[in-house]
A and B are shown apart, each in its own frame.
Chain A
Amino acid sequence: MSGFDIQAVAQRIAQEFQSVKGAGPKTGAEDDKGGFADVLDKYMRESTDLQNEADGALNDLVAGKNDNVHEVMLAMAKADVSFRMMVEVRNKLVEAYQEVMRMQV
């Protein structure tokens, strides 16, 4: 379980989105911090945090520190839903990007 870490993947994808953003024409809005890549990056971090939390809860259960099975299930459900939400948002973004790239000039 602990070997799975999407932090690196998250950073990689965020970097790629940053580079895509940088490759486009300068619009003067480059400096604003609320770019979509940042939002996505934040989502990914939150999602990773929840996954780490689920990992920790599972380890606690196995180590006997916690005896409530449903709390582990809750942590895992949280991680699951947040990860799926992040993936959906990312899919939509990539879809929009591809739609623009296919556009006839």
Chain B
Amino acid sequence: MDLDRMFSGMSVSSSGMAAERRRLDVIARNIANANVVATPGGEPYRRQNVVFETILGELGGDGLPGGVRVKDTLTDHETPMNEVFDPKHPMANEEGIVAYPNVNMAFEMVDMMTSARSYEANMKAMKLYKDMMSQALTLLER
């Protein structure tokens, strides 16, 4: 559609918001699974992280960097598991240690706030874009 080009900036913000939403989904998953010691695979849950990438030229129209999308959801194998000594736990090993997920609640909270703020910033950009167009429309009024 030809008129769609008018809204290219809004599409960029929209893609940013969609990506932040995906990130929040993954953070929510991390928080919800923070105490899961046995996933269907038998392993404790591992923290997950999203990676964003720029969509080049698709949304910008003139080859400028366009929007953003979630490239991949990666599993954190670096951070060590949270080991708790609890010999009575059914999932405890021979030494009585239970491996809890490597989810740090404080980190997740900070990530969550970052995500929410980014969503807000994209929202603001989109709103401003719309306001600018509305301003231009008032040129015709007398």
Is A46 on the interface with B (CB-CB < 8 A)? yes
Contact A74 B126, beta carbon cutoff 8 Å: yes
Q: How far is the CA of A39 from the CA of B137 in the complex (A)?
A: 17
Stretch at the interface among B11-19, B30-38, B88-96: B11-19
- What is the total number of residues of chain A having a CB less than 8 Å from a CB of chain B? 19
Residue of B nearest to A81 (CB): B133
Look across to chain B and name the residue whose beta carbon is closest to the beta carbon of A68.
B18
Chain B residues near A92 (CB, 8 Å)? 140
B18 and A50 contacting across the interface, CB-CB below 8 Å? no
B interface, over-half SS: helix
Q: A50-B3, A68-B17 are in contact. Are A74 and B140 (CB under 8 A)?
A: no
A46 nearest in chain B by CB position: B3
Interface string of A45-78 (1 = CB under 8 A from B): 0110110000000000000000010110010011
Nearest A residue (CB) for B139: A88
Bound: A89/B7 CA distance, A: 18
Q: How far in angstroms is the closest Cβ of chain B from A48?
A: 11
A74 to B11, CA, bound (A): 8
Of B4, B18, B21, B137, which is within 8 A of A84 by CB?
B137
Contacts of A46 in B (CB 8 A): 1-3
Is A91 close to B, CB under 8 A?
A: yes
A71 touches B137 (CB 8 A): no
Q: A79 to nearest B CB, angstroms?
A: 10
Name the B residues within 8 Å of A78 (CB-CB).
4, 7, 10
B134 at the A interface (CB under 8 A): yes
Interface-central residue, B21, B126, B140, by most chain A CB under 10 Å: B140
Interface flag for B6 (CB, 8 Å): yes
Other than the given A71-B18, A84-B134, 8 more pairs (CB < 8 A) read A50-B1, A70-B123, A77-B10, A77-B126, A81-B137, A82-B3, A85-B137, A88-B137
**Which residues does B use to contact A, with CB under 8 Å?**
1-4, 6-7, 10-11, 14, 17-18, 21, 123, 126, 130, 133-134, 137, 140-141
